[in-house]
Amino acid sequence: MEKRTYSTDREIKALKPAAEKGKSYDVKDAKAQNLFVRVRPADSAGQFRRTFVLMTRLPGAKNTTRFSLGDYGDITLEEARDRAAEWRKKIRDGINPREEAEEEARRKEEMRSHAAAEAATKDKLRFGVVIEEYLSRHVKGQRRGGPAEREIRNELIPVWKDKLITEIARRDVVTLIDTITDRGAKYQAHNVLGHARTFFNWAIDRSKYGLETSPCDRLRPARVIGAKKPRQRVLNDAELVALWEAADDMERPKLTAEGKDATVPAGYPYGSIFKLLVATGQRKSEVAEARWREFHPELVRLLRNRKTGSPPIDWDKVENTWKMWIIPSERFKSDATHTVPLSNEALAILAALPHFVGGDHLFSTTGGKLPVGNFGNAKTRLDGHMLAILRKKAEESGDDPATADLPPFVLHDIRRTVRTRLSALRVPEETAEMVIGHAKQGLARTYNQNTFDDEKREALNLWAARLRSIVSPPPTNVVDIRTVQNA
């Protein structure tokens, strides 16, 4: 040991690294008993450590023990002197400060590990984590799984994603539902409350999230939101004309590489969907997610092999068995196969659709691989086009365009419109209900397996003729014989 001492920071900073590699030298503190600075050799970058050490003998020990107090720079000279005095006192009291420090370090590590484990457990209980498992295990694969997932992602996850599911209280549910209701979306509020109720009941049944009660218990939708009144909106003739024309004005979304070379009709894909909704009266998901495999292969072959510029197909000469759309049970509300006879109007819409190589979805921007979604934006654009058309027609009629109005409607109201028009055409109630896919009731559902395809075809042909007379009326001096016969 070199016989050197230090008493100030400047003297410590002036110490040179140990000259011989692998060896160190100690410098004694001139003011603190048994306190030294151990100086180590420099590394390849010229850096070296100066470590405060306390050299003393434990009670009953024969040899001197060296205790490291910390590197200069990590602790100051004053801190080292205070720590040395503290440790000397502990040693006089029979306490081994190194063992005490190690025990303290072990205790802190245990606390850190416990806190980390508790944080990990809490993280698994966050709504944003549990809801993903719910969507994966419970929602995906359901017939209405897609719309349900979208509503959950749009309404529930943004609000509760960071909250523990055990900390979501009834007031949180009520606050969320009130927010949705206050923006005028009562039907959406009912849907969201239903999703929340189902989720929390599912979480309780899983018995792995520490949840014993649901914050939705005893929340009655009629009291929290108000009675869910049945919708009664039906589109009139002028609105049907505006919708039919607006469908062709819909902006085409950008197609992916798989579909960019396809020839698509005006307004595709959303405009084509809206028209097919009007022509068939089927549900939005049933139309939007349709696949070519659901149609007769001969019909698909006929449509696919048509060349650009070919004359229109004379659908009256095509076999009725080809002109059929079969919606599989996994896509239909009542979990039963549903047949939709195709009228000439519906067939004309299908004839204009592209046939992609990469997938067989009719309405797609990904080359047929996936069906389109995001109907909220598409519906907003449809409303804008319809209102513009209604105002233009009002102006052409000599009326004030500002008086033209388009009361709010949802896409499902198109289905109600078709059902109402079928009754106006004197289609029997049972047939009209089966056209739009309402299930048979009572024993008839079990024992009467007749699909009534002929009756449904007649009904849809009647509606097609009526629709044609509305959206494409003949000149005033021409009488459409089909319309007269079907009136």
Q: How many CB atoms lie within 10 A of CB 437?
A: 20
Distance CA 399, CA 405 (A): 12
Per-residue model confidence (pLDDT) at position 450 = 63
Arithmetic mean of pLDDT, 393-409: 92
Per-residue model confidence (pLDDT) at position 230 = 77
Q: Is the pLDDT of residue 308 over 90?
A: no
55 with 64: CB under 8 angstroms?
Answer: yes
Q: Is the pLDDT of residue 480 over 50?
A: yes
State pLDDT tens for residues 72-93. Answer: 999 999 999 999 998 888 888 8
Percent of the chain with pLDDT over 90: 63
Q: Which residue has the higher pLDDT, 159 or 109?
A: 159
State pLDDT tens for residues 339-379. Answer: 999 999 999 999 999 999 989 999 999 999 999 988 989 99
Residue recorded with tokens 């079990």: 446
Distance CA 486, CA 479 (A): 13
Arithmetic mean of pLDDT, 391-418: 94
Per-residue model confidence (pLDDT) at position 144 = 74
pTM of this prediction? 0.62
Q: Is the pLDDT of residue 252 over 80?
A: no
Helix (H, G, I), strand (E, B) or coil at 41: strand
Distance CA 156, CA 406 (A): 31
Arithmetic mean of pLDDT, 302-325: 91
Per-residue model confidence (pLDDT) at position 478 = 55
270 with 382: CB under 8 angstroms?
Answer: yes
- Structural Rg of the chain based on CA atoms: 39
The DSSP H or E segment spanning 328 is none
**Per-residue H/E/C for 446-478:** HHCCCCCHHHHHHHHHHHHHHHHHHHCCCCCCC
Residue 428 identity (one-letter amino acid): P
Q: Is the pLDDT of residue 95 over 90?
A: no
Residue 19 identity (one-letter amino acid): A
Q: Is the pLDDT of residue 59 over 60?
A: yes
pLDDT band at 262 (very low <50, low <70, confident <90, very high): low
Residue recorded with tokens 């000259």: 19
Q: How many CB atoms lie within 10 A of CB 359?
A: 16
Residue recorded with tokens 């405060």: 52
Per-residue model confidence (pLDDT) at position 487 = 44
- What count of residues does the chain have? 487
Distance CA 438, CA 435 (A): 8
* Both tokens assigned to 414: 């198109």
157 with 128: CB under 8 angstroms?
Answer: yes
